[in-house]
Amino acid sequence: MAARGAFSNRLGFILAAAGSAVGLGNIWKFPFEVGLGGGAAFVGMYLLFCFLLCFPVMVTEVAIGRKTQKNAIGAFNSLGFKKWNFIGKLGIFCGILILSFYNVIAGWAFGYFFEMAVGNFSISQNFGVYTSNVLKVGAYAVVFMLFTAFFVSKGVSGGIERLAKILMPSLIFMIFCLVGYALTLPNAFEGIKFYLVPDLSEITMSTVGGALRQAFFSLSLGMGALITYGSYLSKSDNIVSSAAFITLADVGIAFIAGLMIFPLVAFNNGGDMSLVQSSQAGPALIFVTLPGVFETLGAGLGAFVGAFFFLLLSFAALTSTVSLLEVPVSYVVDEWKLDRKVAVGAVALLIFIIGLPSMLANGASGFFSGSFTMPGGSTDFLSLAALSADTLLLFGGFFIVTFAAYVWKKENLHEELAEGFDGYHASFVKTFIDFAISYVCPVLLAILFVLVFLNNFFGINLL
Ligand code: TRP
Protein backbone atom coordinates (compact mmCIF):
# COMPACT_ATOMS: atom_id res chain seq x y z
CA MET A 1 0.00 0.00 0.00
CA ALA A 2 2.67 2.45 0.97
CA ALA A 3 4.42 1.88 -2.32
CA ARG A 4 1.32 2.97 -4.23
CA GLY A 5 0.98 6.11 -2.17
CA ALA A 6 -2.01 7.12 -0.10
CA PHE A 7 -3.72 10.27 1.03
CA SER A 8 -2.44 11.41 4.38
CA ASN A 9 -5.96 11.87 5.73
CA ARG A 10 -9.55 12.29 4.73
CA LEU A 11 -9.18 15.99 4.12
CA GLY A 12 -6.42 15.24 1.64
CA PHE A 13 -8.69 12.95 -0.32
CA ILE A 14 -11.61 15.34 -0.22
CA LEU A 15 -9.51 18.23 -1.41
CA ALA A 16 -7.89 16.25 -4.17
CA ALA A 17 -11.21 14.83 -5.36
CA ALA A 18 -12.90 18.21 -5.10
CA GLY A 19 -9.89 19.65 -6.91
CA SER A 20 -10.46 17.12 -9.66
CA ALA A 21 -14.11 18.04 -9.88
CA VAL A 22 -13.67 21.79 -9.73
CA GLY A 23 -11.98 23.08 -12.82
CA LEU A 24 -12.59 24.56 -16.22
CA GLY A 25 -15.79 22.53 -16.24
CA ASN A 26 -17.26 24.76 -13.54
CA ILE A 27 -15.92 28.14 -14.48
CA TRP A 28 -15.41 27.99 -18.23
CA LYS A 29 -17.84 25.31 -19.42
CA PHE A 30 -20.79 25.52 -17.05
CA PRO A 31 -21.70 29.16 -17.76
CA PHE A 32 -21.57 28.79 -21.52
CA GLU A 33 -23.53 25.52 -21.46
CA VAL A 34 -26.15 27.31 -19.37
CA GLY A 35 -26.12 30.09 -21.95
CA LEU A 36 -26.55 27.74 -24.88
CA GLY A 37 -29.13 25.72 -22.94
CA GLY A 38 -31.33 28.75 -22.42
CA GLY A 39 -30.65 29.65 -18.80
CA ALA A 40 -32.43 28.70 -15.62
CA ALA A 41 -34.24 25.61 -16.94
CA PHE A 42 -30.85 24.11 -17.76
CA VAL A 43 -29.57 24.99 -14.30
CA GLY A 44 -32.53 23.21 -12.69
CA MET A 45 -31.97 20.03 -14.65
CA TYR A 46 -28.28 20.15 -13.95
CA LEU A 47 -28.90 20.34 -10.19
CA LEU A 48 -31.40 17.51 -10.32
CA PHE A 49 -28.99 15.28 -12.26
CA CYS A 50 -26.09 16.04 -9.93
CA PHE A 51 -27.90 14.99 -6.79
CA LEU A 52 -30.19 12.29 -8.08
CA LEU A 53 -28.03 10.50 -10.64
CA CYS A 54 -24.45 11.58 -10.14
CA PHE A 55 -24.06 11.40 -6.39
CA PRO A 56 -24.84 7.64 -6.31
CA VAL A 57 -22.41 7.07 -9.18
CA MET A 58 -19.72 8.97 -7.29
CA VAL A 59 -20.23 6.93 -4.13
CA THR A 60 -20.01 3.75 -6.20
CA GLU A 61 -16.79 4.75 -7.95
CA VAL A 62 -15.04 5.68 -4.73
CA ALA A 63 -16.22 2.46 -3.04
CA ILE A 64 -14.91 0.28 -5.87
CA GLY A 65 -11.59 2.09 -5.72
CA ARG A 66 -11.18 1.82 -1.99
CA LYS A 67 -12.32 -1.79 -1.84
CA THR A 68 -9.77 -2.92 -4.42
CA GLN A 69 -7.01 -0.34 -3.95
CA LYS A 70 -6.48 -0.58 -7.67
CA ASN A 71 -6.56 1.55 -10.81
CA ALA A 72 -9.62 1.81 -13.05
CA ILE A 73 -8.93 -1.44 -14.94
CA GLY A 74 -7.25 -3.41 -12.16
CA ALA A 75 -10.20 -2.74 -9.86
CA PHE A 76 -12.54 -4.88 -11.97
CA ASN A 77 -9.96 -7.65 -12.29
CA SER A 78 -9.36 -7.61 -8.59
CA LEU A 79 -13.06 -8.00 -7.79
CA GLY A 80 -12.96 -11.11 -9.98
CA PHE A 81 -14.82 -9.71 -12.99
CA LYS A 82 -12.20 -9.44 -15.64
CA LYS A 83 -14.81 -9.23 -18.39
CA TRP A 84 -16.05 -5.99 -16.91
CA ASN A 85 -12.71 -4.28 -17.05
CA PHE A 86 -13.80 -2.86 -20.41
CA ILE A 87 -15.34 -0.12 -18.25
CA GLY A 88 -11.89 0.79 -17.03
CA LYS A 89 -10.38 0.53 -20.50
CA LEU A 90 -13.03 2.83 -21.86
CA GLY A 91 -12.39 5.17 -18.92
CA ILE A 92 -8.69 5.37 -19.56
CA PHE A 93 -9.32 6.07 -23.22
CA CYS A 94 -11.82 8.73 -22.24
CA GLY A 95 -9.44 10.34 -19.74
CA ILE A 96 -6.74 10.54 -22.38
CA LEU A 97 -9.18 12.14 -24.80
CA ILE A 98 -10.43 14.67 -22.23
CA LEU A 99 -6.96 15.66 -21.11
CA SER A 100 -5.84 16.09 -24.72
CA PHE A 101 -8.22 19.01 -25.28
CA TYR A 102 -8.54 20.15 -21.67
CA ASN A 103 -4.83 20.86 -21.60
CA VAL A 104 -5.21 23.18 -24.58
CA ILE A 105 -7.84 25.27 -22.82
CA ALA A 106 -5.93 25.21 -19.55
CA GLY A 107 -3.00 26.52 -21.60
CA TRP A 108 -5.17 29.41 -22.84
CA ALA A 109 -6.04 30.30 -19.27
CA PHE A 110 -2.47 30.10 -18.12
CA GLY A 111 -1.43 32.18 -21.12
CA TYR A 112 -3.95 34.84 -20.14
CA PHE A 113 -2.40 35.02 -16.70
CA PHE A 114 1.04 35.37 -18.20
CA GLU A 115 0.07 37.94 -20.83
CA MET A 116 -1.82 40.08 -18.35
CA ALA A 117 0.95 39.85 -15.79
CA VAL A 118 3.48 41.18 -18.29
CA GLY A 119 1.19 44.01 -19.30
CA ASN A 120 -0.66 42.69 -22.35
CA PHE A 121 -3.91 43.74 -20.78
CA SER A 122 -6.05 43.74 -23.90
CA ILE A 123 -5.38 40.15 -24.84
CA SER A 124 -9.10 39.39 -24.65
CA GLN A 125 -9.91 41.85 -27.44
CA ASN A 126 -7.99 39.62 -29.79
CA PHE A 127 -9.13 36.26 -28.50
CA GLY A 128 -9.41 34.74 -31.98
CA VAL A 129 -5.95 35.92 -32.94
CA TYR A 130 -4.61 34.50 -29.69
CA THR A 131 -6.14 31.03 -30.06
CA SER A 132 -5.02 30.75 -33.67
CA ASN A 133 -1.43 31.60 -32.80
CA VAL A 134 -0.16 28.04 -32.59
CA LEU A 135 3.31 28.88 -31.42
CA LYS A 136 1.99 30.87 -28.54
CA VAL A 137 -0.84 28.63 -27.35
CA GLY A 138 1.33 25.61 -28.14
CA ALA A 139 4.02 26.90 -25.81
CA TYR A 140 1.48 27.55 -23.05
CA ALA A 141 0.06 24.06 -23.53
CA VAL A 142 3.54 22.56 -23.24
CA VAL A 143 4.15 24.44 -20.02
CA PHE A 144 0.80 23.36 -18.63
CA MET A 145 1.40 19.71 -19.44
CA LEU A 146 4.79 19.93 -17.75
CA PHE A 147 3.19 21.29 -14.57
CA THR A 148 0.64 18.49 -14.63
CA ALA A 149 3.31 15.86 -15.20
CA PHE A 150 5.41 17.30 -12.39
CA PHE A 151 2.64 16.99 -9.81
CA VAL A 152 1.54 13.55 -10.97
CA SER A 153 5.12 12.30 -10.79
CA LYS A 154 5.25 13.29 -7.14
CA GLY A 155 2.37 10.96 -6.34
CA VAL A 156 -0.98 11.69 -4.77
CA SER A 157 -0.10 12.96 -1.36
CA GLY A 158 2.99 14.95 -2.18
CA GLY A 159 1.66 16.97 -5.04
CA ILE A 160 -2.05 17.21 -5.35
CA GLU A 161 -3.05 17.49 -1.73
CA ARG A 162 -0.87 20.39 -0.78
CA LEU A 163 -1.82 22.35 -3.86
CA ALA A 164 -5.54 22.01 -3.37
CA LYS A 165 -5.41 23.11 0.25
CA ILE A 166 -4.32 26.65 -0.49
CA LEU A 167 -5.67 27.34 -3.91
CA MET A 168 -9.25 26.17 -3.81
CA PRO A 169 -10.22 28.51 -0.98
CA SER A 170 -8.49 31.42 -2.73
CA LEU A 171 -10.39 30.79 -5.93
CA ILE A 172 -13.72 30.62 -4.13
CA PHE A 173 -12.97 33.84 -2.31
CA MET A 174 -12.08 35.62 -5.52
CA ILE A 175 -15.21 34.46 -7.34
CA PHE A 176 -17.32 35.68 -4.44
CA CYS A 177 -15.69 39.10 -4.70
CA LEU A 178 -16.38 39.17 -8.43
CA VAL A 179 -20.01 38.17 -7.85
CA GLY A 180 -20.30 41.09 -5.44
CA TYR A 181 -18.85 43.45 -8.00
CA ALA A 182 -20.93 42.08 -10.89
CA LEU A 183 -24.15 42.58 -8.95
CA THR A 184 -23.48 46.29 -8.61
CA LEU A 185 -23.27 46.84 -12.37
CA PRO A 186 -26.13 48.26 -14.44
CA ASN A 187 -28.51 45.63 -15.88
CA ALA A 188 -27.09 42.93 -13.60
CA PHE A 189 -30.63 41.94 -12.74
CA GLU A 190 -31.41 40.88 -16.33
CA GLY A 191 -28.53 38.43 -16.09
CA ILE A 192 -29.77 37.01 -12.80
CA LYS A 193 -33.25 36.60 -14.25
CA PHE A 194 -31.88 34.65 -17.20
CA TYR A 195 -29.87 32.48 -14.82
CA LEU A 196 -32.47 31.82 -12.15
CA VAL A 197 -35.99 32.22 -13.52
CA PRO A 198 -36.74 29.16 -15.64
CA ASP A 199 -38.41 29.36 -19.00
CA LEU A 200 -39.76 25.84 -19.41
CA SER A 201 -40.13 26.22 -23.16
CA GLU A 202 -36.33 26.09 -23.30
CA ILE A 203 -36.31 22.42 -22.32
CA THR A 204 -35.47 20.32 -25.36
CA MET A 205 -33.67 17.04 -25.84
CA SER A 206 -30.43 18.84 -26.41
CA THR A 207 -30.75 20.84 -23.17
CA VAL A 208 -31.53 17.70 -21.18
CA GLY A 209 -28.53 16.00 -22.75
CA GLY A 210 -26.35 19.05 -22.22
CA ALA A 211 -27.27 19.24 -18.54
CA LEU A 212 -26.60 15.56 -17.98
CA ARG A 213 -23.26 15.61 -19.80
CA GLN A 214 -22.26 18.70 -17.88
CA ALA A 215 -23.13 17.04 -14.57
CA PHE A 216 -20.93 14.03 -15.31
CA PHE A 217 -18.07 16.09 -16.65
CA SER A 218 -18.11 18.56 -13.82
CA LEU A 219 -18.14 15.86 -11.15
CA SER A 220 -15.35 13.91 -12.88
CA LEU A 221 -17.55 10.83 -13.13
CA GLY A 222 -17.91 7.91 -15.46
CA MET A 223 -14.28 7.18 -16.33
CA GLY A 224 -12.76 5.82 -13.16
CA ALA A 225 -11.02 8.97 -11.99
CA LEU A 226 -12.72 8.50 -8.64
CA ILE A 227 -12.03 4.77 -8.64
CA THR A 228 -8.40 5.75 -8.87
CA TYR A 229 -8.61 8.42 -6.17
CA GLY A 230 -10.73 6.12 -4.00
CA SER A 231 -7.94 3.55 -4.20
CA TYR A 232 -5.75 5.86 -2.14
CA LEU A 233 -8.41 6.40 0.53
CA SER A 234 -8.18 4.79 3.94
CA LYS A 235 -10.70 2.30 5.36
CA SER A 236 -11.57 4.50 8.27
CA ASP A 237 -12.91 7.30 6.09
CA ASN A 238 -16.57 7.93 5.41
CA ILE A 239 -17.15 7.64 1.68
CA VAL A 240 -20.74 8.87 1.68
CA SER A 241 -20.10 12.11 3.52
CA SER A 242 -16.93 12.74 1.51
CA ALA A 243 -18.85 12.31 -1.73
CA ALA A 244 -21.60 14.58 -0.45
CA PHE A 245 -19.09 17.27 0.32
CA ILE A 246 -17.42 16.95 -3.09
CA THR A 247 -20.75 17.13 -4.90
CA LEU A 248 -21.83 20.19 -2.93
CA ALA A 249 -18.52 21.95 -3.42
CA ASP A 250 -18.50 21.30 -7.14
CA VAL A 251 -22.10 22.29 -7.72
CA GLY A 252 -21.70 25.30 -5.44
CA ILE A 253 -18.70 26.62 -7.31
CA ALA A 254 -20.32 26.16 -10.71
CA PHE A 255 -23.37 27.94 -9.37
CA ILE A 256 -21.48 30.99 -8.14
CA ALA A 257 -19.48 31.10 -11.38
CA GLY A 258 -22.83 31.56 -13.11
CA LEU A 259 -23.78 34.30 -10.66
CA MET A 260 -20.57 36.03 -11.63
CA ILE A 261 -20.84 35.70 -15.42
CA PHE A 262 -24.48 36.38 -16.27
CA PRO A 263 -24.71 39.83 -14.70
CA LEU A 264 -21.54 40.67 -16.63
CA VAL A 265 -23.06 39.48 -19.89
CA ALA A 266 -26.14 41.58 -19.20
CA PHE A 267 -23.99 44.56 -18.33
CA ASN A 268 -21.91 44.25 -21.52
CA ASN A 269 -24.99 44.00 -23.71
CA GLY A 270 -27.27 46.53 -22.12
CA GLY A 271 -29.51 43.84 -20.61
CA ASP A 272 -29.85 41.81 -23.79
CA MET A 273 -29.23 38.14 -22.98
CA SER A 274 -29.61 36.76 -26.50
CA LEU A 275 -25.85 36.85 -27.03
CA VAL A 276 -25.25 33.84 -24.78
CA GLN A 277 -27.39 31.68 -27.04
CA SER A 278 -25.16 32.12 -30.04
CA SER A 279 -22.57 29.42 -30.28
CA GLN A 280 -19.99 32.16 -30.76
CA ALA A 281 -20.43 33.13 -27.14
CA GLY A 282 -19.65 29.62 -25.92
CA PRO A 283 -15.99 29.18 -25.16
CA ALA A 284 -15.39 32.91 -25.39
CA LEU A 285 -17.55 33.77 -22.40
CA ILE A 286 -14.82 33.49 -19.81
CA PHE A 287 -12.06 34.63 -22.17
CA VAL A 288 -13.77 37.68 -23.65
CA THR A 289 -16.79 38.79 -21.62
CA LEU A 290 -15.15 38.49 -18.22
CA PRO A 291 -11.84 40.22 -19.10
CA GLY A 292 -13.86 42.92 -20.82
CA VAL A 293 -15.21 43.75 -17.40
CA PHE A 294 -11.76 43.72 -15.84
CA GLU A 295 -10.91 46.44 -18.32
CA THR A 296 -13.57 48.69 -16.85
CA LEU A 297 -11.49 48.67 -13.66
CA GLY A 298 -8.72 50.55 -15.48
CA ALA A 299 -5.36 49.33 -16.70
CA GLY A 300 -3.62 49.03 -13.33
CA LEU A 301 -6.21 47.39 -11.10
CA GLY A 302 -7.88 45.62 -14.02
CA ALA A 303 -4.68 43.92 -15.16
CA PHE A 304 -3.92 42.88 -11.61
CA VAL A 305 -7.36 41.42 -10.99
CA GLY A 306 -7.33 39.79 -14.41
CA ALA A 307 -3.93 38.19 -13.99
CA PHE A 308 -4.86 36.96 -10.54
CA PHE A 309 -8.15 35.51 -11.73
CA PHE A 310 -6.52 33.58 -14.55
CA LEU A 311 -3.79 32.37 -12.24
CA LEU A 312 -6.37 30.87 -9.91
CA LEU A 313 -8.34 29.46 -12.82
CA SER A 314 -5.15 27.81 -14.04
CA PHE A 315 -4.65 26.23 -10.63
CA ALA A 316 -8.22 24.95 -10.60
CA ALA A 317 -7.55 23.45 -14.01
CA LEU A 318 -4.29 21.97 -12.77
CA THR A 319 -5.92 19.95 -9.98
CA SER A 320 -8.24 18.58 -12.69
CA THR A 321 -5.53 17.79 -15.25
CA VAL A 322 -3.61 16.05 -12.49
CA SER A 323 -6.57 13.75 -11.85
CA LEU A 324 -6.98 13.09 -15.56
CA LEU A 325 -3.33 12.14 -15.99
CA GLU A 326 -3.36 10.09 -12.78
CA VAL A 327 -5.86 7.61 -14.26
CA PRO A 328 -3.71 6.25 -17.12
CA VAL A 329 -0.53 6.66 -15.10
CA SER A 330 -1.77 4.63 -12.16
CA TYR A 331 -2.81 1.91 -14.58
CA VAL A 332 0.62 1.81 -16.20
CA VAL A 333 2.40 1.87 -12.84
CA ASP A 334 0.23 -0.87 -11.26
CA GLU A 335 -0.11 -3.23 -14.17
CA TRP A 336 2.98 -2.74 -16.28
CA LYS A 337 5.15 -2.14 -13.20
CA LEU A 338 6.70 0.89 -14.84
CA ASP A 339 8.56 3.47 -12.79
CA ARG A 340 6.20 6.33 -11.94
CA LYS A 341 8.35 9.04 -13.49
CA VAL A 342 8.84 7.13 -16.73
CA ALA A 343 5.14 6.38 -16.91
CA VAL A 344 4.27 10.03 -16.38
CA GLY A 345 6.66 11.22 -19.08
CA ALA A 346 5.49 8.73 -21.67
CA VAL A 347 1.76 9.17 -21.05
CA ALA A 348 1.96 12.96 -20.91
CA LEU A 349 3.84 13.08 -24.19
CA LEU A 350 1.34 10.78 -25.86
CA ILE A 351 -1.59 12.88 -24.65
CA PHE A 352 0.05 16.08 -25.76
CA ILE A 353 0.42 14.70 -29.28
CA ILE A 354 -3.19 13.54 -29.34
CA GLY A 355 -4.11 17.09 -28.35
CA LEU A 356 -2.47 18.72 -31.37
CA PRO A 357 -5.59 18.71 -33.55
CA SER A 358 -7.51 20.38 -30.69
CA MET A 359 -4.82 23.02 -30.52
CA LEU A 360 -5.32 23.75 -34.22
CA ALA A 361 -9.10 23.76 -33.89
CA ASN A 362 -9.58 27.40 -32.94
CA GLY A 363 -8.44 29.23 -36.00
CA ALA A 364 -4.99 27.87 -36.76
CA SER A 365 -6.16 25.23 -39.21
CA GLY A 366 -9.28 25.67 -41.33
CA PHE A 367 -9.73 21.95 -41.48
CA PHE A 368 -9.67 21.30 -37.74
CA SER A 369 -11.53 24.53 -36.99
CA GLY A 370 -14.79 23.69 -38.67
CA SER A 371 -15.09 20.89 -41.16
CA PHE A 372 -16.81 18.29 -38.99
CA THR A 373 -20.43 17.97 -39.99
CA MET A 374 -22.85 17.55 -37.15
CA PRO A 375 -26.64 17.76 -36.96
CA GLY A 376 -26.48 21.29 -35.60
CA GLY A 377 -24.09 22.50 -38.32
CA SER A 378 -20.38 22.12 -38.83
CA THR A 379 -18.14 22.09 -35.82
CA ASP A 380 -14.48 22.10 -34.87
CA PHE A 381 -12.33 19.23 -33.71
CA LEU A 382 -12.10 20.34 -30.09
CA SER A 383 -15.87 20.61 -29.68
CA LEU A 384 -16.32 17.24 -31.31
CA ALA A 385 -13.72 15.65 -29.02
CA ALA A 386 -15.40 17.22 -25.99
CA LEU A 387 -18.86 16.05 -27.04
CA SER A 388 -17.64 12.52 -27.71
CA ALA A 389 -15.82 12.32 -24.40
CA ASP A 390 -18.83 13.63 -22.46
CA THR A 391 -21.07 11.10 -24.11
CA LEU A 392 -18.66 8.31 -23.21
CA LEU A 393 -18.84 9.41 -19.57
CA LEU A 394 -22.58 8.72 -19.53
CA PHE A 395 -21.95 5.34 -21.03
CA GLY A 396 -19.29 4.62 -18.39
CA GLY A 397 -21.51 5.87 -15.58
CA PHE A 398 -24.33 3.56 -16.65
CA PHE A 399 -22.03 0.54 -16.66
CA ILE A 400 -20.36 1.40 -13.35
CA VAL A 401 -23.64 1.50 -11.40
CA THR A 402 -25.09 -1.45 -13.23
CA PHE A 403 -21.95 -3.44 -12.57
CA ALA A 404 -21.97 -2.54 -8.88
CA ALA A 405 -25.65 -3.26 -8.36
CA TYR A 406 -26.05 -6.48 -10.32
CA VAL A 407 -22.65 -8.05 -10.94
CA TRP A 408 -20.51 -7.16 -7.96
CA LYS A 409 -23.83 -7.06 -6.02
CA LYS A 410 -25.11 -4.20 -3.98
CA GLU A 411 -24.61 -5.99 -0.65
CA ASN A 412 -20.87 -5.75 -1.26
CA LEU A 413 -21.15 -2.11 -2.14
CA HIS A 414 -23.10 -1.41 1.04
CA GLU A 415 -20.56 -3.29 3.09
CA GLU A 416 -17.79 -1.11 1.71
CA LEU A 417 -19.80 2.05 2.32
CA ALA A 418 -20.45 1.02 5.92
CA GLU A 419 -16.69 1.02 6.61
CA GLY A 420 -15.92 4.32 8.23
CA PHE A 421 -19.63 5.17 8.53
CA ASP A 422 -21.14 3.92 11.80
CA GLY A 423 -24.86 3.50 11.51
CA TYR A 424 -24.83 3.32 7.70
CA HIS A 425 -27.03 0.24 7.60
CA ALA A 426 -29.83 1.92 9.49
CA SER A 427 -29.55 5.22 7.65
CA PHE A 428 -31.88 6.84 5.14
CA VAL A 429 -28.95 7.47 2.85
CA LYS A 430 -28.50 3.71 2.48
CA THR A 431 -32.09 3.37 1.32
CA PHE A 432 -31.58 6.19 -1.15
CA ILE A 433 -28.33 4.78 -2.55
CA ASP A 434 -29.83 1.32 -2.78
CA PHE A 435 -32.85 2.51 -4.72
CA ALA A 436 -30.77 4.80 -6.90
CA ILE A 437 -28.18 2.27 -7.99
CA SER A 438 -30.70 -0.54 -8.42
CA TYR A 439 -33.30 1.31 -10.44
CA VAL A 440 -33.09 5.05 -10.94
CA CYS A 441 -29.52 5.31 -12.22
CA PRO A 442 -29.41 2.28 -14.51
CA VAL A 443 -32.81 2.95 -16.06
CA LEU A 444 -32.53 6.70 -16.49
CA LEU A 445 -28.90 6.61 -17.59
CA ALA A 446 -29.63 3.96 -20.20
CA ILE A 447 -32.59 5.85 -21.60
CA LEU A 448 -30.86 9.21 -21.50
CA PHE A 449 -27.67 7.85 -23.02
CA VAL A 450 -29.56 6.55 -26.04
CA LEU A 451 -31.56 9.77 -26.41
CA VAL A 452 -28.51 11.98 -26.04
CA PHE A 453 -26.44 9.90 -28.41
CA LEU A 454 -29.08 9.94 -31.14
CA ASN A 455 -29.72 13.62 -30.64
CA ASN A 456 -26.12 14.78 -30.57
CA PHE A 457 -24.70 12.68 -33.34
CA PHE A 458 -27.66 12.10 -35.63
CA GLY A 459 -30.03 14.94 -34.87
CA ILE A 460 -32.77 12.45 -34.05
CA ASN A 461 -35.22 13.78 -31.50
CA LEU A 462 -37.28 11.11 -29.81
CA LEU A 463 -38.91 13.42 -27.29
N1 TRP B 1 -14.32 17.84 -13.57
C2 TRP B 1 -13.26 18.58 -14.16
C3 TRP B 1 -13.78 19.96 -14.48
O4 TRP B 1 -14.91 20.25 -14.19
C5 TRP B 1 -12.67 17.89 -15.36
C6 TRP B 1 -12.25 16.52 -15.04
C7 TRP B 1 -11.20 16.15 -14.27
C8 TRP B 1 -12.89 15.33 -15.41
N9 TRP B 1 -11.15 14.80 -14.16
C10 TRP B 1 -12.18 14.27 -14.84
C11 TRP B 1 -14.01 15.08 -16.17
C12 TRP B 1 -12.59 12.98 -14.99
C13 TRP B 1 -14.43 13.77 -16.33
C14 TRP B 1 -13.74 12.72 -15.75
O15 TRP B 1 -13.10 20.78 -15.00
308 or 6, higher pLDDT = 308
Q: Long-range contacts for 168-173 (Cβ within 8 Å, ≥24 apart)?
A: 168/15, 168/18, 168/19, 168/22, 168/316, 168/319, 170/312, 171/22, 171/253, 171/312, 171/313, 171/315, 171/316, 172/253, 172/256
More confident site: 439 or 16: 439
Q: Which atom of ligand 1 is nearest to the CA of 24?
A: 15
Calculate what percentage of the chain has a pLDDT beyond 70: 97
Average pLDDT estimate for 323-350: 94
pLDDT over threshold 70, residue 211: yes
Residue 2 has pLDDT above 50, yes or no: no
The answer, yes or no, to whether any atom of ligand 1 lies below 6 A from the CB of 20, is yes
pLDDT tens figures, 123-175: 888 899 999 999 999 999 999 999 999 989 987 666 667 777 777 888 889 89
Going by CA atoms, what residue is nearest to atom 13 of ligand 1?
A: 220
**Number of residues in the chain:** 463
The C-alpha atoms of residue 180 and residue 405 are separated, in whole angstroms, by: 45
C-alpha 223 to ligand 1 mean position (Å)? 9
Distance in angstroms (rounded) separating the CA atoms of residues 249 and 237: 18
Ligand 1 mutation target, pool 33, 148, 168, 320, most atoms within 8 A of CB:
320
Nearest residue to 216 via CA among 60, 16, 50 = 50
DSSP reduced 3-state for 196: helix
1 pLDDT above the threshold of 70: no
Task: Give Cα separations from 159 to 6, 69, 245 (angstroms).
Answer: 12, 19, 21
Percent of the chain clearing pLDDT 90 (strictly above): 70
- pTM over the 0.75 mark: yes
